Structure 1
Amino acid sequence: MQALDDVTVVSLESGISAPLCTRLLGDFGAEVIKVERPGVGDVNRHWDSVVYGDSSAHAWVDRNKLSVELNLKSDEGKEIFHDLAEEADVVVQNYSPGVVERLDVGYEDVKEINDDVIYLNVSGYGRDGPYSDRKAYDMVMQGETGLILMNGSPDAPAKIPLSICDINAGMYGAMSTLLALFHRERTGDGQEIDVTMFGGMLSWLGYFPHKYWHNDETPDRVGMRHHLLTPYGPHETADDQYINFAILSEPHWEALCTEVLERPELATDERFDANEKRVENRDVLEPEIESIIAEKSRDYWAERFAEAGIPWGDVNQLDEVLDYPQTEHLDLVKELETEDGPVPYVENPIDFEHLEYQQEPMPDLGEHTDAVLESLGYSDDEIEALHEDEVV
């Protein structure tokens, strides 16, 4: 059984945020109809060509979808979209500010023909307010929400390599859609939803706002260390590897000093006998810990951390984590069969007892246009005419 069987999603999507949202819905069984610009498609199709000529981004976010090429600037294209939206449970869009309203495919337009529709807007800043007309991309949003200046080493800020702001919006988008579907199941009411990258990332800032509100503290860049805890993070070993560990409590700290490092005097040093003190004196403590760890090999320290019951782990390259024993045990890497060959992918990580996932390969541009039009009742002659007129 798939959780979203019989749920239809029509998406006006581009990039990563909305496409990831709808892919998650597709994973759970929704029929996702991806509306794309004729002859061009989603911008994410063109970022590279590493997957048998398709892009890695397209392979990541566009599985479990039908692709329909549709010219929304034409009257016929609008009519076809309205036909699709009339039958949809959910409409998703993350076009540039104001575009769906200009094209007559916004919430108010869809609500006139489908009053219980759930209409999700994914945007950078929201559809009103002082920044509502700004386009937003992941790199821009990492800067806007403070991530870049708190990330990196003391001598240089850095962006987070993942499209974390897009991922945030995609996850909140999927969650909000599921909540709205649940609400409609109870009440019969559809609704419009706004998910913003800006608001989503602010909600992920965690304890940092509280450190500012209550202690007038903004985060310094600490590289591989932790802003709130120390010792914490990867430490280089004598054989040019890393051991990664986390001291989360006072028993952990005592075990580190006495059982792992064999330096009991550190545990009783008044400068280090509470986490806040250790953070205040990190300029003294962290170099000391680093020098001790650098004396022995990674395997030596791994054994000692494991025996002491302190959280520890490896610092893996991407190829290592994709081939990691736990990755294999959890069956997280699978393959989609395509006409070009197998496409490995990372499976949805949620393990349900009774629910199944849907896994179909990402669509070619316009692959399902004719089939979707046929399902709407268009004849072969009408479909041919739409092609000739470049509507589809």
Structure 2
Amino acid sequence: MSRPLSGIRVLDLTRVLSGPYCTMLMADMGAEIIKIEQPGNGDDSRSFPPFERGISAYYANLNRNKKSVALDLKDEQAKKVLRDLIKVSDVIVENFKPGTMDKLGFSYDEVKAINPQIVYASISGFGQTGPYKKLPGYDVIAQAMSGMMSVTGWPDSAPTRTGTAIGDILAGLNCCIGILAALQGRVSHRHGDRIDVALVDCSVSAMETINEIYMVENRMPQRIGNRYEFIYPYDSFQASDGWVVIAVGNDALWKRFCEVTGHDDWFAIEKYKLNKDRVQAHEELQKLVTAWTREHKVKEIISLLQSNSVPCAPINTVADVVEDEHIAKAREMICEIDHPVDGKMKITGCPIKFTESAQFNYSKAPTLGKDTKDVLANLLKMSSDQIDHFE
């Protein structure tokens, strides 16, 4: 069986995280990814920790299943090679500062003139249009400007960045979705498209109902810790030996939760029966539930609630996740692949699973320029003398 994107060729001019995450997903799904890197240093993330046997695991995880072609795009012969690659590719993805591709001679109009079928995707901090378009954009800037940091943390804490680079990841996801939509659209309208994805836009979109609180109620959303604004109990609670989350998502679950914890008296209290009222009474309910959880160990709470279909979970460490029999093993979210130079290494697997397509078979990330000669010789049919220029 082939994989869903088999036969799709992508020119990947991205680096660090947002773009490489997008093309990593496409590579996992079977697309041929030709990563264009600057000779000498390559993708900036090749120098990012952690390192395993001299290779950046940051780079190796995000760039598995890809080919590396080293081209200096300020060199005219390298530009000609890229133009020839554009002719035989389906997608080009870049995450330079807006205007950079234009200066290099690869604006959307110039690329479309070479290949009208091309899907041209750009990821940037603030997008290709608007008064902020020339400002540099990083994940933390997206989290700050989208309002995300203003609602992350505790009431008495400073605005807080999420533990992962969620702005970059959201941009990578949305770019991938846009590319897939454009490829499908190409089937009917017979031409490519331009995709413009901004880190800030993606983070604003992810704020969803939090934005509505302000726009509908004219109330400024605040930092509320692990509590959810719209449901309660839906929070983290301290056990005798750690922490758990409990997610009582509706009134029927509240009744069941009260029964299995031996607190029918809570259910009998009128102001706790409906979710909208529990949300209003969240402070006193937090104290009541915590008084119960503190009497039990994490495993005891999880066992009791899960066996009675009350949503809950331990707050795992990364070590817990890497060893988890469901997440790491059954769902194959922690996988072992060949190390780029020697031996094996572990990576985070692809979260998208297919039933009727080939299973994932991850190949190692390329060393810098590893595939330059092969791509130039076999895809572009260049002579040895021509290839020598790039070595």
Q: TM-score, normalised by structure 2?
A: 0.94
Residue 390 of structure 1: aligned partner: none
CA contact (8 A) 1:29 1:358 kept: no
**Equivalent position amino acid for 2:310 in 1:** I
Q: Does 1:237 align with 2:239?
A: yes
The 10-residue stretch of structure 1 (293-302 or 24-33) with the greater mean CA deviation from structure 2:
293-302
Residue 55 of structure 1: aligned partner: 56
CA-CA distance at 1:123 after TM superposition? 1.4
Please give the per-residue CA displacement for 1:243-279, whole angstroms capped at 9, x wherever unaligned. Answer: 321111112112222331x233322324323222222
CA contact (8 A) 2:18 2:168 kept: yes
Residues 303 and 194 (structure 1 numbering): CA distance in 2 closer, same or farther, change over 3 Å?
Answer: same
Please give the per-residue CA displacement for 1:312-367, whole angstroms capped at 9, x wherever unaligned. Answer: 12221111111112122223322112331112122222221221235211111111
Residue 295 of structure 2: aligned partner: 295
Alpha-carbon distance between aligned partners in 2 of 1:270 and 1:49, rounded to the nearest angstrom: 54
Q: Does 1:8 align with 2:9?
A: yes
Q: For 1:367, which of 367, 370, 385 is the aligned residue?
A: 370
CA contact (8 A) 2:15 2:95 kept: yes
Please give the per-residue CA displacement for 1:28-80, whole angstroms capped at 9, x wherever unaligned. Answer: 11111111111011111111142222222212211111111111112122111
Number of paired residues? 385
The 10-residue stretch of structure 1 (209-218 or 109-118) with the greater mean CA deviation from structure 2:
209-218
Residue 378 of structure 1: aligned partner: 382
**Equivalent position amino acid for 2:149 in 1:** I
Residues 270 and 186 (structure 1 numbering): CA distance in 2 closer, same or farther, change over 3 Å?
Answer: same
Q: Which runs of 5+ in 2 are unaligned?
A: none
Alpha-carbon distance between aligned partners in 2 of 1:300 and 1:92, rounded to the nearest angstrom: 49
- What is the aligned-residue identity percentage? 29
Alpha-carbon distance between aligned partners in 1 of 2:303 and 2:352, rounded to the nearest angstrom: 31
Residue 215 of structure 2: aligned partner: 213
Q: CA RMSD in A?
A: 1.7
CA contact (8 A) 1:28 1:358 kept: no
CA contact (8 A) 1:23 1:64 kept: yes
CA contact (8 A) 2:71 2:390 kept: no
**Equivalent position amino acid for 1:187 in 2:** H
CA contact (8 A) 2:27 2:65 kept: yes
CA contact (8 A) 1:35 1:67 kept: yes
Residue 142 of structure 1: aligned partner: 143
- Give the secondary-structure state (helix, strand or coil) at the position aligned to 1:351: coil
CA contact (8 A) 2:148 2:204 kept: no
Residues 355 and 307 (structure 1 numbering): CA distance in 2 closer, same or farther, change over 3 Å?
Answer: closer
Alpha-carbon distance between aligned partners in 2 of 1:329 and 1:76, rounded to the nearest angstrom: 48
Alpha-carbon distance between aligned partners in 2 of 1:302 and 1:386, rounded to the nearest angstrom: 59
Residue 279 of structure 2: aligned partner: 279
Residue 341 of structure 1: aligned partner: 343
CA-CA distance at 1:142 after TM superposition? 0.6
The 10-residue stretch of structure 1 (146-155 or 270-279) with the greater mean CA deviation from structure 2:
270-279
CA contact (8 A) 2:50 2:58 kept: no
